[in-house]
Amino acid sequence: METISGWLLRHHDKIEHGPFSLAVLVEAASRGDIVFDSEVKHDKHTEGQWILAKRVRQIREVMPASEPPPTSEPEPEEPIIDRETKPDFQLKIEPGRPGGKRIKLAIPRDPLSAFITIFDFRFNSFATPWIIRFIYGIGTVTIVLATIVFWGGAFIGSAIELMKFAIGGVAATDVLPKPYLASASIGQSLSFVENGGGGYVGASMPGNAFGIILTIIIVNLFFVIPLLILRVACEFMIVAFRVAEDVSDSKTLLRELFDRDA
């Protein structure tokens, strides 16, 4: 083996050592002092160029059989992000309203507040749920009362007429077959009787008072219900406009975000 010195050695710290003879380098390699990233240089054998020590056959033969993993620093791993709880970006929408805060439509908590909300011309409250409840309740009660009054009145009036027939005060042909029997029976159940001129006059003050109150309620409902329906339609239009504003703000924000990333 060559014993002439002239071999230089350096490790990853780039500090030169030597000169050494090839036998000394082979002995150092066998002890593990020369690793796979160590370099050697010789003016004759390597033409003055630094080469890996393992390219020299004598050194390679005595080096460890397995090459250790590269000593370069591993790339930092990306942190694991839960996309469900933490999305890629946070979408912050600040509509053009006072202070950049969203103005939500408040729902009244009691019927009195809902009634006052009807006259809120700034539309800061949402009275539609209460209006729907009111209309549904009035409609249900009206239908039930109308059914009770119609069938109850017809039953009571017919019973009265049948009793009069049984006593003998009215002919059978004047009781059942005539078309106006049902309406007359209802009128009698409301304490109305037929007079000689073909009209109806009140037979008792309670009957007249009940009819007057019922008429007032029904007439007023024809004014109140359209007002409530108009309020519901206006509130839904306000909600639609505010949803459109939020969608427009979202599109603008997303466009700016994608343009920035591009």
**Dihedrals φ, ψ of 19, to 5°?**
-80, 155
- Mean pLDDT estimate for the chain: 66
- 10-46: b or e for each residue (b if 16 or more CB lie within 10 Å)? beeeeeeebebbbeebbebbeeeebbeebbbbbeeeb
Indicate whether 153 pLDDT > 60.
yes
Per-residue HEC secondary structure of the chain comes to: CCCCEEEEEECCCCCEEEEEEHHHHHHHHHHCCCCCCCEEECCCCCCCCCEEHHHCHHHHHHCCCCCCCCCCCCCCCCCCCCCCCCCCCCCCCCCCCHHHCCCCCECCCCHHHHHHHCCCCCCCECCHHHHHHHHHHHHHHHHHHHHHHHHHHHHHHHHHHHHHHHHCCCCHHHCCCCCCHHHHHHHHHCCEEECCCCCEEECCHHHHHHHHHHHHHHHHHHHHHHHHHHHHHHHHHHHHHHHHHHHHHHHHHHHHHHHHHC
User: Is residue 237 over pLDDT 60?
Assistant: yes
Instruction: Note the pLDDT of residue 207.
Output: 53
Q: Which CATH superfamily is domain 5-62 in?
A: GYF domain (3.30.1490.40)
Where are the domains positioned within the chain?
A: 5-62, 98-251
What are the residues facing 9 on neighbouring strands?
A: 17, 40
- pLDDT tops 50 at residue 171: no
Residue 66 reports pLDDT greater than 70: no
pLDDT at residue number 99? 46
pLDDT at position 16 is 76
Least confident of 125-134, 170-179, 201-210: 170-179
CA distance 228 to 234: 10
Q: Return d(Cα 22, Cα 136) in angstroms, integer.
A: 104
Length of the chain: 262
CB 2 within 8 A of CB 18: no
Amino acid at 251: K
- The model's pLDDT over 51-62, given as tens digits with 9 standing for 90+, comes to 877 777 777 777
